[in-house]
Structures are given as structure tokens and as C-alpha cells.
Structure 1
Amino acid sequence: MRIHFTPDDLLHIRFADEPAPLLELAMALATLHRPASDPVFTRWRREAARELPGHARPLLELIPPCGRGPQFVDPVVPDVQEGFERVAATSAEQVRREMARVAGFGQAPTPWTRRIAARDRAAWSELVTGLHDAYDSVLTEPWRRLRAGFHAEVAWRTSRWGRLGLGAGLESLLPGSRLDGLVWHMAPEKHADFHLDGRGLTLYPTATWSGPPLIATAPDDSKLLVYPALTPLPLLPEPQDADPLGTLLGRTRAQVLEALAEQRTTGNLAQDLGISAASASQHATALREAGLVATRREGKAAWHGCTALGAELLRTGAR
């Protein structure tokens, strides 16, 4: 498996900004019935399989153990509700294209997946319901750990790249890979060439997958490289609740400020922290009035993010 860069592509290598809930779910479901998964997932696989709701089980017919399922089930968006809406709105043409691609990997069709391919309304209702149930069962509890692990991985990788350089930084993502000129050689068990042609490469670490790297398309049309994060889900610790900021601002408001180190909509904020949208808006407003948060509007969405003062307060609290 080789990725071919142009010189311009090397200037457009970046990490994804946020984990995508439905992409994480697809990787988790592939891992759940992947016999070759890292042994560290053994207990997690057993427990997740036992607790997976009946409505979610047909998803295992759609998402194969190799992880290369149809891309319409795992849109790369950070808002889980938007992800569900995108799945439901998938065009018939995209469904046909993706189901044909998956069939090319040797995934045998079943009566249910044939109905999915035919865009049968009842089957698609079952698909969306199954995704909701699977997300609630598999990812709701560990989501804070997954998200914290994602950002810890990205922070650690980017800090090392300044010392390692681009080539060694890329090679460190996938031990055994090598960058030879403008070609990155990886995953020798695969036979595929991907030409970026100036579109760039987005790197996405996932703690729910231990298999070989996977290639998809990011929302900005760059290639998306999904690779196993350094720390897999079963080993991710609970995020630390250090409390200097909690003492100053109150625990929930401190969590809101910490979350807004990355820009979020009010809905994203509510989802990530497990609070109501009204509460998220109230906390963001209080922080904005204190000069710690700035808000901008795009259509009906309000995007919030730390100001320089808020970021400095976060750095001071972390120290």
C-alpha cells in the first residue's frame, strides 16, 4: 500500500480537528468481530458483543471485520446527530457505488444488505435505528476517554514532529512504513496505490481500531488516513479532573472553557459535556462576558472558542 504525494501535498498534511463519532463507531464494530484484533481488545470485544442491542446486530453484516465498510455509515463529522442525519440522507447513487465497492472486498451480501443496496425504506429505517442503538451501547460511556485520547495523541504527535521532521514523523505513525522520496510505503499486506494529486492528507488516529491503515475521503476532499492510535480504547484512562479552574469557575464552567480550547457549536458543547443546550449556551455566555470566550455566528449555528485570555487561563490551570 503506497501513498503518492506531490510537493504541494506535503504542505497540506494535517491531523483531523476532532474525533468523528460514527467513524469511531464503524471502527469499533469492525473490531468487535475481527478475529485478528490486538489481544488487548479481547475482553472489550466479549463485553461489547454481549451488550450490543438486537437492532444493532445487522450492522455487522454491513461493516466487515477488515474495516472497509460503506462510507455512508461513518461520515467524518464531529457532531453525532449531524452524522445520523447524513446517513439518512445518503443518495441512492452513493449507496450503489459504496455497496459495489464493499462487494469487491469479498464481503458476501445478505438479504438485509441487499435491501440496503436497493435503498429499501424499511431497511434504511432499521439501519438508522441500529446506528443509534449501537452508538448508545458501544460509545456513549467511553466517549470522554476516546475524545481525550484523540487530542492527547494529536498533541503528542505534533510536538514530536517538530523534532523528528516530516519523514520520520509520518513513519512513526505506522512502524515499518517508510517515506521514500514522495512515496510513503506502508501496510505490505495490501496492494493499492493512492495518488493525492494536490488534495493533501488528513491524519486520523482512532483508539477503536488495531488493524492496518485505512483510506477514505475527508469532508474537504483530502484523503483521510485512519490509523490505530498509540493507546487503544481498553487502555485509555479516564480524563484527569485537576481542579484549579474548577475552584475558580465552578467545575461545569471550567469544563466548558476546557472544551472551547477547540471551537464548538452550542450543540457540540452540550453533547460533549452531557449537558442541555440551554445550559451550554448559558455557560458560554457567562464566559464570553468575562472575556474568556468569543462567539461567532454562521447561519443558525453559534460557534464558541477561547480568547487569548481564556487560553492563557487554561495554560496556567494546567501548570
Structure 2
Amino acid sequence: MLNCSSSDSRGVDVLRIHCTHEDLLRVTVAERPAPLVELGLAFEMLQQRDAHPVFGPWRQRVSRALPQLASPIMQLVSPLGAGPLFLDPRGEDLEEGVDQIMSTPRAEARSELGRMCAIDRPLTPWIRQLADRDREAWQILERAVRVAHSSVIAQEWSRIRAGFHAETAWRSRILAQQGLHAALTGLVPSMRRRGTTLEAGFPRDLELTLRGQGIVLQPSLFWADHLLAGAAPDGRLLLIHPAVTPLPLQDASPPDDSLSALVGTTRARALRLLVRQHTTTDLARELSVSPAAASMQAKTLREAGLIVSQRDGKTVWHWCAPLGLELVAQGNA
């Protein structure tokens, strides 16, 4: 999850991200939560016994119910938020993510496990076997990931998704209404911007230099500590930050949906989806309706001033207007 390979001799515990102007022009908000990223962060938070009391009851409950078969993951992730990058596929599909983990090349596995152990994980016999691509060791890992996902993530997924989309709608509104500075400096209390350099408190000194690919902001409902930095598959910098409302504070039984009451259930779902750009076809697939029905929903939202639509050849793109973002944020508050 975290690249901790760079340091300098000043002894200052700061993450410095040197951006280009292109990077700052390409700051976006993640479209969806990633179950295996959240799984790794959940196991890291499970090990932070003396911090973040809001997670105390959650830690106790999950620890008591955690199957022994899931425990090997504890050897791979650190309470500092560090773990091997191959353990954190960003897709939303569990099977695809497990396949990506299991197909990790030997050189990458060895490099990532070595980096992780250099931070604070002991080099156990099982980790040595993983580094050597021992078949049985990797079968243990696959079983651990599946069991851990079933016991920690699967039963909470609807709450995770609801909290994630509420957070991203709110962050998108800040970006649209208050600008980039407010959106970035509000990620964590220690965050500040000095020209094109971003700085934040960190467990060790780390400097990253970006090359113009851009930055993705991704909230986590399981993480309540410092900013985490990693590489997205497309080369952009992934900044994982704590959600304003962590999972233990998410309502188990959400109150009446005021947004659905205002615009209707299907249009409320569409509006929440459109905090990120979607084509009409994408919207139809997400809503499980026909393209014609999705187009009609978009037309109604557009005429109400809640979304904007733009044609690009044969494709029509839709996204929230400022009023739509405001309603989504209030409806999820």
C-alpha cells in the first residue's frame, strides 16, 4: 500500500510530494471503494491497539470473531499502514483481485516482501516461502484473503459503499466550490501545500516526485491515521486518507433517505453515481435499466439543474452540477 523506500538525513517525519502543475490540474476523486484495499487497512487498524478509540469496540468484536485461517495476513501488514503492494488490488471484484494477487511475479513478490520487512515486519518462515513463490505458501495466502474478506468486509460492504460515496460526494463538492487548496489541505489535519509541494505528517521522512500523471484521492472507512501514498495502476499517485465518518460511526440502519424522497429512488441512485462522470450506457448498467430509461432519468435530472450532459460523438457523458453535488452531500449527511 505504501512506498517507504525513500528517505533523507534530516530526521523530519514528513511526507513531501513534489508535484508538477499537470499533477495538480489532474486531481480527481476515486469512483468506488476497493474491497481488498479496505481489507488491508482494516487489518492494519486491528493492530493499532492504543490509538483511535472510536475503533475500540470494532477491534474487540472483529478480533473475537476472526477465524484463525485469516491470521496470516497479520504477518503482511503493519499498524503503520504499510504492506506489500500486491496485496491491494484496487478493483471492486473480489475474484479479479484474488487472481491479481495470486499472479504476482516472483521478482515483485520478493521486492515487496523485503521492503515490508525492512519497515517493521519480522521475516518469518512463511514470508520467506512467499518470496520464493512456494505454492503451498501462496495457497495459504489465498485462503487467508478469502476468509478475511468474508468475515471483515463482506458483511459490511453496503455500509462501506454508502459511507464511501457520501465522503466522495462531499470531497467533490469541496473541490468544486472551494477549490483545490481546500480539497487537498482538508485530507488530514497536518496537510499543507507549499507551491506545488504537498506536505503531511508521516511516520518517517519520505519524498515523492511526480511526473504529471495526476493524483487520485481515495477515502478509507477503516483508516484513521496519517495520509497513505501509493501508485495507482495507471501511474497516478493514490492518496488514501481517513473518511470524515469512519465505519464504526456509520449508521447500521440508515435514516430515511431524504434524497430519494425528494427526487425518487432511481434518480437518487443516478445522482449519487454522477458525482463521477458516466456515459448513458454506464449509467444504465449501474442502475440495471435500459439505456433509454437511463437517458430519460438523466433528462429529468438535467432539466432540474442537477446534472450536466455533454455529447462526444455518439457518446453522451453526464455528471453532477453544483446543485446536484449539494443535494447528494446533504442527502448522505
Category of TM-score, reference length = shorter chain: 0.7 to 0.9
Match of 1:293 in 2: 294
Amino acid at match of 1:293: A
Deviations 1:106-140 (A, max 9, x none): 31111211111111111111111111110110011
- Does residue 20 in structure 1 map to residue 10 in structure 2? no
Q: The residue matched to 2:189 in structure 1 has which SS?
A: coil
- Alignment map for 1:85-234 (pairs within 5 Å): 85-234=99-248
Match of 1:242 in 2: 257
Matched-pair contact (CA < 8 Å) for 1:4–1:194: yes
The structural deviation recorded for 1:96 is 1.0
Give TM-score, length-normalised by structure 2: 0.77
Matched-pair contact (CA < 8 Å) for 1:257–1:310: no
Deviations 1:28-82 (A, max 9, x none): 0110112343110001001111111111011101112112100111111122221
CA 23–203 in structure 1, closer or farther in 2 if over 3 Å, else same: same
- Does residue 309 in structure 1 map to residue 323 in structure 2? no
Aligned equivalents of 1:119 and 1:190: distance in 2?
Answer: 30
Matched-pair contact (CA < 8 Å) for 1:178–1:185: yes
- Does residue 68 in structure 1 map to residue 82 in structure 2? yes
Aligned equivalents of 2:120 and 2:77: distance in 1?
Answer: 12
Matched-pair contact (CA < 8 Å) for 2:165–2:272: no
CA 254–56 in structure 1, closer or farther in 2 if over 3 Å, else same: farther
The structural deviation recorded for 1:164 is 2.6
The structural deviation recorded for 1:243 is 8.8
Q: Flag as ranges the 4+ runs of structure 1 deviating above 6 A.
A: 243-246, 253-256, 313-319
Matched-pair contact (CA < 8 Å) for 1:37–1:211: no
Aligned equivalents of 1:166 and 1:132: distance in 2?
Answer: 38
Q: The residue matched to 1:224 in structure 2 has which SS?
A: strand
Q: CA RMSD in A?
A: 3.3
Matched-pair contact (CA < 8 Å) for 2:84–2:112: yes
Q: The residue matched to 2:120 in structure 1 has which SS?
A: coil
Q: Which deviates further from its counterpart, 163-172 or 210-219?
A: 163-172
Aligned equivalents of 2:148 and 2:182: distance in 1?
Answer: 38
Aligned equivalents of 1:218 and 1:73: distance in 2?
Answer: 13
Aligned equivalents of 2:271 and 2:136: distance in 1?
Answer: 42
Aligned equivalents of 2:181 and 2:272: distance in 1?
Answer: 32
The answer for unaligned runs of 5 or more in structure 1 is: 270-279, 295-305
Amino acid at match of 2:246: P
**Relative contact order: is structure 1 or structure 2 higher (C-alpha 8 Å, sep ≥ 6)?**
2
Amino acid at match of 1:183: T
For these two proteins, the number of residue pairs brought into alignment is 291
The structural deviation recorded for 1:161 is 2.6
The structural deviation recorded for 1:256 is 7.6
Aligned equivalents of 1:214 and 1:54: distance in 2?
Answer: 28
The answer for unaligned runs of 5 or more in structure 2 is: 1-14, 307-323
Q: The residue matched to 2:201 in structure 1 has which SS?
A: coil
CA 245–7 in structure 1, closer or farther in 2 if over 3 Å, else same: closer
Match of 2:17 in 1: 3
Aligned equivalents of 2:181 and 2:268: distance in 1?
Answer: 36
Matched-pair contact (CA < 8 Å) for 1:148–1:239: no
Q: The residue matched to 1:157 in structure 2 has which SS?
A: helix
